[in-house]
Amino acid sequence: MLDHGAPPHNGGPSAPHSEGRGMRLMRRKPVERLVAEGGHGEGGTLRRSLGLWQLTMISIGATLGTGIFVVLGEAVPKAGPAVTLSFVIAGLTALFSALSYAELAGTIPVSGSSYSYAYATMGELIAWVCGWCLMLEYGVSVAAVAVGWGEYLNELLDGTIGVTLPAALSAPPGEGGIFNAPALIVVLLAMAFLLGGARESARANTVMVLVKIGALVLFCAIGVQGFRSGNYENFMPLGMAGVSAAGATLFFSYIGFDAASTAGEEAKNAQRDLPRAILLSLAIITALYVLVAAVAVGAKPWRQFSDSEATLAQIMREVTGQSFWGTLLAFCAVIAIASVVLTVLYGQTRILFAMSRDGLVPKVFAKVSPRTGTPRANTLIVSLFCGVLAAAVPLGQLADATSIGTLFAFALVNIAVVVLRRSRPDMPRSFRVPLSPLLPALGLGFCLWMMGSLSAVTWVVFGVWMAVGLVFYFLYGYRRSRLAAPAPSEAK
């Protein structure tokens, strides 16, 4: 339990007239105040109903989806059979940041994820930048994933009843269509679950996660029957450079493990369960990725892999000689991607909830329904925005920019854990990053390295996104921040 009686550290709230502009940009929100406000919104409170199992499933649900179903076709040609090693390297890269997330999630168990961690350690401006990056990671990626869901739905319809949706209704303008109806439908379905409550959403997500884990286990059981040891004879044909290149691509299959940290105010025992859920989910995901990659390369010579989005389905058809298994895998992919939409949409609404409570975005995002204990208006606004974006806008490079936004947020978390260790060394921590500050420094270094490997166009899109965010902050959040005035208890 945190010591709420501890004196506030520097960066606490003060009257705006006594601060210069630079000091106001660096004002920090005390950890005690962050935790004390946990769960409280406008007109109601969030309900603490999630245990370790549900939190772990949320992280797996947000991570295990389109990545493993489509990424092998892109990664294997870069690394050859050593793609299994690439998965391990990418997993270790994610692990460095996951350790920092685990410590901060157990110390500051609130809904804002890395936004709140930055607010407590590096100040309001950095926190805003982090939160704006999270909007890019969560909000835009919901739309991108929803588009992929429509493609797999068409594959499933073709394999079962022999029909597909016309291009006019399954692709956005500019890509041969008028309106991507399936993308909008899956977002609206996720919205319906979220409006029912966190517990109900978690139950639905758990079922979907078990289905997609079962699908990958089934793939391994069938694929291993076509395993040929000769496919591994030239293990690293493209050298370590190829392994590294594939690892950079595969890292983005791990994005989403931080989703549990957005559930900090709805967890029954957040300080104990959040660190465990983050690390346990990453371990399960890495094990599945390595196992699936090992079986896939063993069953199919690496030179025969292509950029096909249905690599796993192709292998199942080749091993069994039947189309049924490919159709079954398409069904599981539809479930898997729906799970990603649900959990990532959940994470976006909770981050906006925390930012709204701090006054940095309109207060409508912090309103909580007393009946369901959910931010209903927040969920409706975010869902409709993401659904229309997926249905009507070709995402292009904007979707690619979700990766750079995620890496930037991860980098800030690795810095925040070291800053909090130095500024508040005596705070109770349910988990501590081992070998700190070495491992956080490695996490920061890997994030910066991967950001540097992204294209110039992605950096331009990211720069434009950040410029828009800063304009919004200075026009709205800078003046309306709740830290611009004392908290009610401090004003007495």
Least confident of 13-22, 164-173, 251-260, 364-373: 13-22
The per-residue pLDDT for 164 is: 80
Please confirm whether the linkage preceding 437 is cis (ω < 30° from 0): yes
The arithmetic mean of pLDDT across residues 186-203, rounded, is 88
Q: How confident is the model at residue 154 (pLDDT cuts 50, 70, 90)?
A: confident
What's the CA gap between 486 and 492, in Å, rounded? 9
The arithmetic mean of pLDDT across residues 437-460, rounded, is 86
Q: Is the pLDDT of residue 488 over 70?
A: no
- Looking at residue 1, the DSSP 8-state letter turns out to be -
- Looking at residue 71, the DSSP 8-state letter turns out to be T
The per-residue pLDDT for 394 is: 65
The per-residue pLDDT for 310 is: 63
Kindly state the helix (H) or strand (E) to which residue 157 belongs, with its residue range. Answer: helix 141-160
Tell me: the pLDDT tens digits for 35-56? 888 777 777 788 888 899 999 9
The arithmetic mean of pLDDT across residues 250-257, rounded, is 79
What's the CA gap between 140 and 133, in Å, rounded? 10
Contact 277, 106 (CB under 8 A): no
Mean pLDDT for all residues in the chain: 83
Kindly state the helix (H) or strand (E) to which residue 105 belongs, with its residue range. Answer: helix 83-107
Q: Is the pLDDT of residue 25 over 90?
A: no
Is 491 buried (19+), middle (13-18) or exposed (0-12) by CB count in 10 A?
exposed
The per-residue pLDDT for 70 is: 64
What's the CA gap between 51 and 57, in Å, rounded? 10
Q: Is the pLDDT of residue 128 over 90?
A: yes
Q: Is the pLDDT of residue 9 over 90?
A: no
Identify residue 462 by its one-letter amino acid code: F
Tell me: the pLDDT tens digits for 219-239? 899 989 998 988 898 889 888
Q: Is the pLDDT of residue 492 over 60?
A: no
DSSP, residue by residue, 185-241: HHHHHHHHHHHH-HHHHHHHHHHHHHHHHHHHHHHHHHHGGG--GGGGSSS-TTHHH
Contact 163, 64 (CB under 8 A): no
What's the CA gap between 159 and 224, in Å, rounded? 24
The per-residue pLDDT for 191 is: 93
pLDDT greater at residue 79 or residue 8: 79
- Taking only Cα atoms into account, the Rg of the chain, rounded to an integer number of angstroms, comes to 22
Is 232 buried (19+), middle (13-18) or exposed (0-12) by CB count in 10 A?
middle
Tell me: the pLDDT tens digits for 299-350? 988 888 865 556 787 788 888 888 788 788 878 888 888 888 899 899 899 9
What's the CA gap between 142 and 136, in Å, rounded? 10
Q: What count of other Cβ atoms lies within 10 Å of the Cβ of residue 54?
A: 24
Contact 238, 80 (CB under 8 A): yes
Question: 3-state DSSP helix/strand/coil percent for the chain, to nearest 5?
Answer: 75, 0, 25
pLDDT greater at residue 7 or residue 141: 141
pLDDT greater at residue 177 or residue 492: 177
The per-residue pLDDT for 486 is: 54
Tell me: the pLDDT tens digits for 53-109? 999 999 998 888 766 776 677 788 888 899 999 888 888 888 999 999 999 998 888
Tell me: the pLDDT tens digits for 256-287? 888 888 888 888 888 899 999 999 999 999 99
